[in-house]
Structure 1
Amino acid sequence: MPRVQLTREDVLDAATRLVVQHGPQDLTMRKLAAELGTAVTSIYWHVGNRESLLDALVERTVQEMGALVPRGRTPVDRVVSVARALRRELRARPHLIAMVHERGLTERMFLPAQQALVHEVHAAGLRGARAAGVVRAVQFQVVGHVLVERNRERSPVQSPAEADLWSPDLAEHDPALARALARPADPERVFVVSVRALVGALLGAAAG
């Protein structure tokens, strides 16, 4: 079958895959051409030079981060759903997010998520500085949690491990607590519990 004509989106899709897998330092025009089975000159024709290609990847990442759709029936559920979606997107593309940050576009990237949070916070009855406080608190909670997760994933093997440290005596004679803390943490569960508690408290205070 004859090859379908290459498009700019094809080039950006392939470049995104390479960056996600190996980081931007390994993205070269030759590797990208090999990935697409085409000539290097064709890559240049579609996206310009390497810097133009990186700029295009950053711009597309910023745009894609805007597709966060709140879900749930209650204000707390909907705010938590935005936070979960934002965490998922940040974790899925760390190299691309780093590129966005290096180009000074981090605040612009977060704007759609902030707007989604503003809409839900307004729906919950908050306005002004109190609404802004909730939006910022949720955003900082998401970013902070992602940074902690990545730090734990990159850290060397711990010896002794958490499972070796906890005993009923250390847990103030609470064996169930000791067993729970000896098990590996579930980052998703920890995230949802903390964000739900934060949002519930902030929106609940507003309702009160």
Structure 2
Amino acid sequence: MPRAALTREEVLDTAAELVKQHGPDALTMRKLAAELGSAVTSIYWHVGNRESLLDALVERTVQEMGAIRPTGRTPAARIVSLARGLRRELRARPHLIAMVHEHGLTERMFLPVRRTLVREVHAAGLRGSRAADAVRAVQFQIVGFVLVERNRERAPVQSPAEEELWTGATADEDPALARALARPADPERLFTLSVEALVTSLLA
């Protein structure tokens, strides 16, 4: 029996979850109705057709990405926190971000974060082209790191594996380095380390 009192937000929440897990191709009105325990006609009433639904998901994703806020006592700390938050959100919704890109709204999506970065680099005393370089460098670092992560995750199994390649000889007779490179990377720690080093250099 179809459920009552379905809301637009519930439809968008469930549709976003389906896209997050399986990609936009898996989002059909029939499947969405089944997930919601509702009639397809009720979904059409709330969000229109499938294209309208996808447009609404894109717009909502743009708004959500604009809600990322920095924390910390110094401009450097706030920039690092903003970078970590943006990376986390990009990784949490790759299919939705891809839809935003396909709709030509990537620059608009990043604008709120970039404006926040502008405020922080201004607070650190940078102006003009130096401030612009800092904003772009941080954004490129975040997006580039996420792309590398995604490519590594989707890559086929490597043979030989990374841990098999590093020995004293391949590490210039630095056994500690070889052991460290043979262990799996910690992306969160590496990301924070790289952003902190970049921000420290940019704000110096």
Q: Same fold (TM over 0.5)?
A: yes
Greater shift, 49-58 or 120-129, is seen at 120-129
Instruction: Give unmatched runs, 5+ long, in structure 1.
Output: none
How far off is 1:96 after superposition?
A: 0.1
Q: Tell me the distance in 2 between the aligned counterparts of 1:47 and 1:162.
A: 48
Q: Is the 8 A contact 1:171 1:178 kept in 2?
A: yes
Q: Is the 8 A contact 1:117 1:135 kept in 2?
A: yes
Partner of residue 70, structure 2: 70
Partner of residue 185, structure 1: 185
Normalization by structure 1: what TM-score? Answer: 0.95
Q: Tell me the distance in 1 between the aligned counterparts of 2:68 and 2:17.
A: 21
**2:26 aligned partner, one-letter code:** D
How far off is 1:99 after superposition?
A: 0.2
Partner of residue 127, structure 2: 127
Q: Tell me the distance in 2 between the aligned counterparts of 1:78 and 1:113.
A: 12
Partner of residue 162, structure 2: 162
How far off is 1:15 after superposition?
A: 0.2
**1:178 aligned partner, one-letter code:** A
Greater shift, 96-105 or 164-173, is seen at 164-173
Deviation above 6 Å: which 4+ runs of structure 1? Answer: none
Partner of residue 91, structure 2: 91
How far off is 1:147 after superposition?
A: 0.4
Q: Tell me the distance in 2 between the aligned counterparts of 1:26 and 1:170.
A: 46
Give secondary structure in 1 for the equivalent of 2:68: coil
Instruction: Give unmatched runs, 5+ long, in structure 2.
Output: none
Aligned length: 203
**2:103 aligned partner, one-letter code:** R
How far off is 1:74 after superposition?
A: 2.0
How far off is 1:4 after superposition?
A: 5.5
Percent of matched pairs sharing the same residue: 78
Greater shift, 169-178 or 43-52, is seen at 169-178
Within a 5 Å distance, the mapping from 1:22-101 to structure 2 comes to: 22-101=22-101
